Amino acid sequence: MKQLFLILLLFLSHAAGSQVDFNDYQPIVAKGDIPEDFTKSTYEKIDEGLHENRKELGGQIAQREFLLQTGYAIDELLHSGIVLYGDQVSDYINDVAKKVLKGKRDLKEELRFYTVKSNIANAFSTDQGIIFITTGLISQLSSEAQLAFILAHEICHYTEKHVQESFVWRRSQRFSDDWLGKMSVYSKEKEHEADAMAVEMYRKAGYSKEELLTTFDVLLYSYLPFEEIEISLDYFASDKFFLPNDLFPDKEFEISAEEDADDTYSSHPNVQKRKELTKATMDAGSGNWEDQKFLLGKERFIEIRSIARFESVRSDILEGNFADAIYSIYILERDYPNSIYLKRKKAQAWLGLYQYSQTGNKYDAVDKKSELEGQSASVHFMIRKLTKKEVATFSVRHIYDIYQENKDDKEIEAIYHFMFKQLASFENFDLDDYSKMSFEEASNKRLEYLKSLESDTTNMEEESTEATNSKYKSIKKSRSPDNLENELDTSKYYMYGLSDLHEDQQFKTLIAEAVTKKQKQDEYDELEEYNPYSNIMIGADNFIVVEPTTISYSGRGVDYVRSEKLEERFSDAITKSADMLGTNIRVIDSRSLALEGTDAYNDRSLLMACLHQVTNETDIFPFPTDYSITNKLTDKFSTGKVMFTVVDHTYRPEIYWAYIGYSVFFLPTAPFVISSHIPMQLMKGNNTNLTVLVLDIESGQVVAGESYFYRDAISKYNLTARMYNIFYYLSQTP
Amino acid sequence: MNLNRIVLIIALLIVGSAYSQQYPGYFGKKTYIEVLTTSGLPLFANFWGCNGGYNNEGGQLVRQDEKWGAPWEWYQFGLNIAVGRAIKNNLAVGFEYSRHNWKINGPGSPFDDVAGISSHISVDKDGNEIPYPYKGQIVHERIRTVRQTFMPRIEFATGDGLLPMGLTHIVGLGLTITSKVQDDYLIGFEEFYNYVKPIPDSVYSTTDLIDYDIKYKGLQLMYGIKMRSPLGKSLFLTYGMRYMLNIRIGRGDSLYYESAEYSVRKFIVRNNLLNLMSFDLGLSVPF
C-alpha cells in the first residue's frame, strides 16, 4: 500500500511538473542528452557520408556536392540556436510521430524530430533522417490529427528519398530550358506522392478522416496570425487615454488566400489540387477509418499549442514584428489574462515600436498597406497611421501602466528604466508638451468654461490682462492643449494621454536623470580622441565567449570545410590569448557542447538569440527579449559580458595583368614590373576581417564593438596575437 | 658603428617606449631584432654593363661574357640587421644596418699609361716579340665592393596593423659608404684579340692602380614592404621587398678621367644608382 502511494505521489508530481504555468511562462529550452546531430562537426558528417558511398547520388563528385550542400545547410540550422530537442513540444511531436509510425520500429529509431523556434509555419525532412517542425506551424494547428498528417507527409519524403532524387534530377536538368517550370512540376509530383502515401500512414494510426483535409486549410492560411478574432480600439484605450475612433479602419480587410492559386512556378501544388488528390486517395483506400482528432488528449494538444503561441510572441519581439506581437498578445490574454510574460512582452513591443518610430523604421514593424488582411490588420492600420509623437505617447502610456500594475517584476522594471534612457536619447519627449488634464477632464472644463462665458463677465477682465502679455506667450498659450478658449481637437487626443504623469514625481526625476546622463555622455563623446580601439576599451576581463562565426572564401564562394576548421583554430586562439593575459573566459562552442551537454546548448542558444536581436537592428539598441533568463546567466558565469566574434577571410591577390601587359611593350620595364608587382600583390592578397562585439546581457546594450581589417594570413599565431590585442584593449579603460 | 649612431638608436627606442605604453605589441613584445638576407637581380646594372669585366677562374682572367654570353650577374647578396620598436599598433621606429656586397668591373688602363712594363709583356701568345706601340690594355679582375648603410627608419601598417607582426611599409633615409675590398686581384694585359696574359705581381700590382683608402659616401632613400609571419610567440619569418634610390654625395677628389680610380668610382656610383630593388628574407625576433 505504501509503495502504491509513493508511485501515485511520483505520478502526480510528474503530472504537476509537466504542466506549464502560462502566467509565469518561461521560453522552452532543450532537455535531456544532447543528440550527436548537434555536436558532430559538419566535415566529420561529410566524411562519414562519403564512406557510405551513396551511389544513388552519382559519382564521388556528385556525392560530395550533395553532402556539402545539404550538410552545411542543415548544420547551419542545427547550430543556429533555434532548434530544440527534448522540450515539451519536441516530446509531443515525437509522441505523435510514434503513433504515425506504429509498427515501423526501424524507422522510429532512424528518425529524429526537432522543434524549430520560428514563426514561419513549416515542416521539412532531410536525407539524414531529421524532421524539423516549427513552432509557427504548431501554433496554427487545431488538432493533433493535423500534426499527424504533416508528420506522415514528411516521413514519406524521407522514406522515398525525395531529397536525394531531387538533387539527382536537378543535376541532370541544370542546362535545360525552362528549368524553373520543370523543377516546379517535378517537385509537385513528389508532394502529391508524399500526400498520397501519408494518407495510409495517417489512417493506420487511427486519426479522423474528416480532419485530414482541414490540414490543408492550416497550410493555406498559415501566413495569418494563429486566430482571427476581432480586436477593438478599447484594448488600447483607458480612462486616462482617450482614443478617437478614426485610428481604426472603418472596413474589414479581406483575406486574399485562394485554394486554387496559380502554382505554375511553385514547389507545392495549390491546396485545391492537394485536397482533390488526397480525397481521391482516401476514397480509393479500402481500410477502415477511426474518428480520433486527439490520440494523446486534447488538453495536452492545447497546452503544446499554447506554448507554440507564446513562443510566437517571443519570436515576433525578437524579429521586430511588434504589431504582430501586440495582436498575438491580445489573443493570448483572452485565455491568460494574468500572464506576467505577456505583460512583459507587451511592454517590450511598445518600447520597440517607440525606438523604430523615432529612427524612421516604424514601417519595418508593420505590414505593407497592400498586405493588410484579416482582423490583425486593424492593429497594423493603426500603427501605420500614428505619428512619431503619437507612438511616443502610446508607448509611454502603456509601459507606464504596465509598470504601475507590476512594480515587483524585475523585467518590467528594467523595461521601464530602459524607456527613460530611450526618451532622453531621442531628445523629443517633453512632458511639459502634454496636458495636465485627461481628454475627458479637458472636455468637461471646456464645457464649464463655455457656460461661464455666458454668465460671468470676469473672464473678460482676465482676458484683458492676458492681452498685455508678450506675443510669444500668446502663441504658446493658443497652442496649449490646456487653453480652454480653443475647441477640443480630437486629432490632438494624445496630448491628453499622459496627464496623470505630471503628478508622478518619480517619473519626472527619472526622465531628468536620463537627460542629464545623456548630456554628459555627449560631452564626453565630443572630447574623446579617435582611437580604433577606443570602442572596445571597457575595463572588463571576464567574458562569456560564444562560438565564433568564421567564413573562409575560396574562388567559388564560401569554403565550408575551411570555414569550419578556421573556427576551431580561432576558438583555440581566443582561449590561448585570454590565458596569456589572465582574462577569464568561458567558451561556449560546439566542442564545449559535447562536453557540457544541454545546459551549454541552452546557454548558447540564448546568447545566439541575443546576438541575432542586436545584429538585426542597425539603428537601435533593443531591449533583450529574454531579459529574465539572460540575467540568470550573469549569476551563473559571474559576468554579464558576452563576446561574439566573426572572422572572414579570403586570399585574393589583386594582380593587374594589364600592368604586366603594358610593361612587356616597354622593355626593359617588364622584368621590373613583373618582379615587383606580382610578389607585392601576392604578399598583400590576404584579406581578413575580424569583428568583435561585446554584449552586456544585464543592460542589453552592446558595450564594445568594432571591426578590424588585416592583411594577415589566418595562422594560429596571427589569430592569437589579434585576440591578445583585443583582450588587452577590452581590459583597458579609455 | 660609432658612438653617435648608438646614441641615435637608444634615443629612438626611448622615444618609442614613451609613446608605446598603451599598446600591447605582439603578445606584449614591442621591440624586435631582425636579420635578413637581401638579394636582387641587378637588371639595370646588367643592362648598362656595370657587371661585365673579368673573373678570376683558376688563376686566369676570363671575360664574364664568355661564360654567360652577356655581362650579366644573376644575384647580388647582402645582409641587413635592424632593430625597431612599435610605438602604436600601426607605427614603429627603428634603425637598420645593412651590408651589401657585389663586384664591379675592374678598372682598365691603356697600355701606354703603364710605364716600364712593355719590355716584360711585349710578347705574343707564342712568345714572339711585339713591337711598341702595341694595341692592348691593362685589365683588372672584378673588384669586390661593400656598401654599408646606416639608416633610421619608420614603419607603418595600413588597415588595423599590429606591429611588429604582419604587413608593414617601411620608409628610411640613410647614409651609405661604399668601399673596395683589398685583395690579391689578378691583373692582365689584354691584346686586341682578347687574349689576356697575366702580369706577375712583381711587375705590376693592383695597389698601383687602385687606392683602397678612398670610400664613396651616398644617401639611400628606401621604401620597403614586408610581411612578418609569426612562426611562434618569439619568432617571425620575414619576407618582402625594398625599393632604393642610392645617390652619391660629395664631389670627392678630382680624378683624371682615364685613371683606374676614375673608372672604379664610375662603376661604384652607377652600380649604386642602378641598384633599385631587392628581395628580403630572414627572421625577426620580438621581445
Chain B residues touching A580 at Cβ < 8 A: 27
pLDDT higher than threshold 80 for residue A345: yes
Least Cα distance to A585 among A643, A633, A632, A525 occurs for A643
Q: Cα–Cα distance between A180 and A296 in angstroms, integer?
A: 42
Chain B residues touching A711 at Cβ < 8 A: 158-159, 166-167
Peptide bond into A668 cis (omega under 30): yes
Query: In chain A, what percentage of residues exceed pLDDT 90?
Result: 47
Determine the pLDDT at residue B213: 86
Interface residue B212 vs chain A (CB under 8 A): no
Residues A711, B159: C-beta atoms closer than 8 Å: yes
Determine the pLDDT at residue B74: 63
Nearest Cα of chain A lies from the Cα of B218 at a distance, in angstroms, of: 24
Average pLDDT over residues A191-215: 91
Q: Cα–Cα distance between A270 and A272 in angstroms, integer?
A: 6
Average pLDDT over residues A347-371: 91
Of the residues A717, A718, A726, the best mutation for testing chain B's interface (the one with the most B CB atoms within 10 Å of its CB) is A717
Q: How confident is the model at residue B5 (pLDDT cuts 50, 70, 90)?
A: low
Residues A718, B230: C-beta atoms closer than 8 Å: yes
Determine the pLDDT at residue B135: 55
Do A111 and A131 meet the contact criterion of CB atoms below 8 Å apart?
yes
CATH number of B151's domain: 2.40.160.20
Residues A711, B22: C-beta atoms closer than 8 Å: no
Is ipTM > 0.85 here?
no
Distances (CA, A) of B2 to B82, B150, B239: 16, 11, 29
Determine the pLDDT at residue B222: 94
Interface residue B233 vs chain A (CB under 8 A): yes
In single-letter form, the type of residue at position B140 comes to: H
Of the residues A581, A669, A710, A727, the best mutation for testing chain B's interface (the one with the most B CB atoms within 10 Å of its CB) is A710
Chain A residues touching B230 at Cβ < 8 A: 715, 717-718, 721
Residue ranges of B 78-97 with Cβ closer than 8 A to chain A: 89
Report the largest interatomic distance among the alpha carbons of chain A, rounded to a whole angstrom: 108
Interface residue B232 vs chain A (CB under 8 A): yes
Interface residue B21 vs chain A (CB under 8 A): no
Residue among A672, A676, A717 whose CB faces B233 most closely: A717
Of the residues B158, B160, B228, the best mutation for testing chain A's interface (the one with the most A CB atoms within 10 Å of its CB) is B160
Instruction: Please enumerate in sequence order all residues whose Cβ is within 8 A of that of A550, keeping only pairs 6 or more positions apart, or say none.
Output: A563, A564, A566, A567, A570, A646, A647, A648, A649
Interface residue B43 vs chain A (CB under 8 A): yes
Chain A residues touching B233 at Cβ < 8 A: 717
Residues B162, A732: C-beta atoms closer than 8 Å: no
Chain A residues touching B281 at Cβ < 8 A: none
In single-letter form, the type of residue at position B213 comes to: D
Interface residue B69 vs chain A (CB under 8 A): no
pLDDT higher than threshold 60 for residue A729: yes
Interval A6-21: pLDDT, tens: 554 444 444 444 588 9
Nearest Cα of chain B lies from the Cα of A718 at a distance, in angstroms, of: 7
Strands A549-554 vs A542-546: parallel, antiparallel or unpaired = unpaired
Nearest Cα of chain B lies from the Cα of A651 at a distance, in angstroms, of: 14
CB atoms within 10 A of CB A68: 17
Chain A residues touching B76 at Cβ < 8 A: none
Chain B residues touching A710 at Cβ < 8 A: 159-162, 166
In the block, cell 525606438 appears at: A355
Q: Cα–Cα distance between B239 and B234 in angstroms, integer?
A: 16
Determine the pLDDT at residue B118: 47
Q: How confident is the model at residue A508 (pLDDT cuts 50, 70, 90)?
A: very high
Interval B207-243: pLDDT, tens: 667 888 888 899 999 999 999 999 999 999 999 999 9
The domain tally of chain B equals: 1
Which is more confident, B159 or A327?
A327
Average pLDDT over residues A173-196: 77
Determine the pLDDT at residue A528: 63
Determine the pLDDT at residue A14: 44
Interval A480-505: pLDDT, tens: 666 666 667 778 899 999 999 999 99
Chain B residues touching A668 at Cβ < 8 A: 43-44, 47
pLDDT higher than threshold 90 for residue A59: no
**Residues of chain A with a CB closer than 8 angstroms to some CB in chain B:** 532-533, 580, 668, 671-672, 675-676, 679-680, 683-684, 708-713, 715, 717-718, 720-722, 724-725, 728-729, 732
pLDDT higher than threshold 60 for residue B132: no
Nearest Cα of chain B lies from the Cα of A549 at a distance, in angstroms, of: 20
Provide the CB-side half-sphere exposure for A93 (13 A, CA): 31
Chain B residues touching A715 at Cβ < 8 A: 229-230
Q: How confident is the model at residue A258 (pLDDT cuts 50, 70, 90)?
A: confident
Residues B24, A725: C-beta atoms closer than 8 Å: yes
Residues A672, B276: C-beta atoms closer than 8 Å: yes
Do A251 and A183 meet the contact criterion of CB atoms below 8 Å apart?
no
Q: Cα–Cα distance between A136 and A120 in angstroms, integer?
A: 5
Chain A residues touching B27 at Cβ < 8 A: 580, 720-721, 724
Interface residue B159 vs chain A (CB under 8 A): yes
pLDDT higher than threshold 60 for residue A184: yes
Chain B residues touching A722 at Cβ < 8 A: 162
Nearest Cα of chain B lies from the Cα of A587 at a distance, in angstroms, of: 21
pLDDT higher than threshold 60 for residue B70: no
Interface residue B35 vs chain A (CB under 8 A): no
Lowest-confidence pick of A37-51, A391-405, A588-602, B103-117:
B103-117
Structural domain boundaries, residue B261: 3-286
Determine the pLDDT at residue A12: 43
Cell numbers for A61, please give them.
563528385
Dihedral (Cα; A394, A400, A402, A406), 10-degree rounding: 180
DSSP A697: T
Helix (H), strand (E) at residue A66: helix A60-78
Structural domains present in chain A: 22-221+257-299 (no CATH), 302-433 (no CATH), 439-527 (no CATH), 534-731 (3.40.50)
Interface residue B276 vs chain A (CB under 8 A): yes
- Average model confidence (pLDDT) across chain A: 86
Query: In chain A, what percentage of residues exceed pLDDT 70?
Result: 91
Nearest Cα of chain A lies from the Cα of B101 at a distance, in angstroms, of: 21
Q: How confident is the model at residue A295 (pLDDT cuts 50, 70, 90)?
A: very high
Interval B246-269: pLDDT, tens: 888 876 667 666 677 788 888 888
pLDDT higher than threshold 50 for residue A710: yes
Determine the pLDDT at residue A555: 77
Helix (H), strand (E) at residue A150: helix A144-159
Do A158 and A97 meet the contact criterion of CB atoms below 8 Å apart?
no
Interval B137-181: pLDDT, tens: 777 888 889 999 999 999 999 878 888 999 999 999 999 999 988
In the block, cell 673579368 appears at: B54
pLDDT higher than threshold 50 for residue B124: yes
Residue among B41, B160, B239 whose CB faces A675 most closely: B41
Determine the pLDDT at residue A323: 95
Cell numbers for A206, please give them.
487511427
Determine the pLDDT at residue B92: 92
Interface residue B156 vs chain A (CB under 8 A): no
Determine the pLDDT at residue B3: 58
Q: Cα–Cα distance between B86 and A394 in angstroms, integer?
A: 56
Chain A residues touching B241 at Cβ < 8 A: 676, 679-680
**Which of A115-124, A439-448, A622-631 reaches the highest mean pLDDT?**
A115-124
Chain B residues touching A533 at Cβ < 8 A: 89
Between chain A and chain B, how many beta carbons pairs sit less than 8 Å apart? 74
Determine the pLDDT at residue A226: 94
Residues A711, B225: C-beta atoms closer than 8 Å: no
Do B225 and B241 meet the contact criterion of CB atoms below 8 Å apart?
yes
Instruction: Find the residue in B nearest to A732 (Cα).
Output: B22
